[in-house]
Amino acid sequence: MTTFVVDAMLGRVALWLRLTGNDTLYAPDMDDDELLQVAASDRRVLLTSDGELYERATRRGLDALLLRGPVDEVVAEVFDRFGIEPKVDPSRARCSKCNGELVEVSGNEKEVVRGLVFEQTFEHYDTFWLCHDCNAVYFQGAYWKNITGYMERIRSLIARRRLVGADGTHTD
């Protein structure tokens, strides 16, 4: 599986990569030299909107992708290019905050999240996903419809990209 390091301007891309289960380093305070070092040492694909950083990466022989344009189009481009299915599966997702791995907790195990979520949430939901790195807790709440809707949008943008071609030419 491809792993990524993402520059500060592409935080939404990092979010969706993490939610779809992709190991994605994103630290907005990382400078360009640190991004290049991480890309090289960890063999991560560098995603950037900075033309100069992209040029530096390619001169060093690093895998890099220059991304510009509307966020949804950029997310679709990355997913299409790297064969990422636009589907959020909490059992595969990574923590959107820190990139940590999530562990499902349910039944009697769910006691570990008591105090980390509102009591009403704790009582209403039976299954949670806990990040052991930062203690963030996830569950399929009302926002879940927005997540699946956004993934549908990305799926349709990918289909359009394939029909029209990434370079804008029609591919009958």
pLDDT of residue 115: 95
Render pLDDT for 77-114 as a digit per residue (tens, 0 to 9).
Answer: 999 999 999 999 999 999 999 999 999 999 999 999 99
Sheet of 137-138, strands arranged across: 102-106, 127-131, 137-138
- Each domain of the chain, given as residue ranges in start order, spans 4-86, 102-138
- pTM (2 d.p.): 0.90
Per-residue pLDDT of the chain (172 residues; tens, 9 = 90+): 899 999 999 999 999 999 999 999 998 999 999 999 999 999 999 999 999 999 999 999 999 999 999 999 999 999 999 999 999 999 999 999 999 999 999 999 999 999 999 999 999 999 999 999 999 999 999 889 999 999 999 999 999 988 876 555 554 4
Our measurement of the distance from residue 54's CA atom to the centroid of its chain's CA atoms, rounded to an integer in Å, reads 20
In angstroms, the CA 20 to CA 158 distance is: 15
Tokens of 15: 């979010």
Alpha-carbon torsion (66, 68, 70, 73), positive or negative: negative
Of 16, 24, 68, whose CA–CA distance to 46 is shortest?
24
The CATH code of the domain at 4-86 is 3.40.50
| 6 within 8 A of 17, measured Cβ to Cβ | yes
Task: List strand residue ranges (DSSP E) for 17-160, in order.
Answer: 24-26, 45-48, 64-66, 102-106, 127-131, 137-138
In angstroms, the CA 63 to CA 26 distance is: 16
Of 25, 66, 24, 32, whose CA–CA distance to 49 is shortest?
66
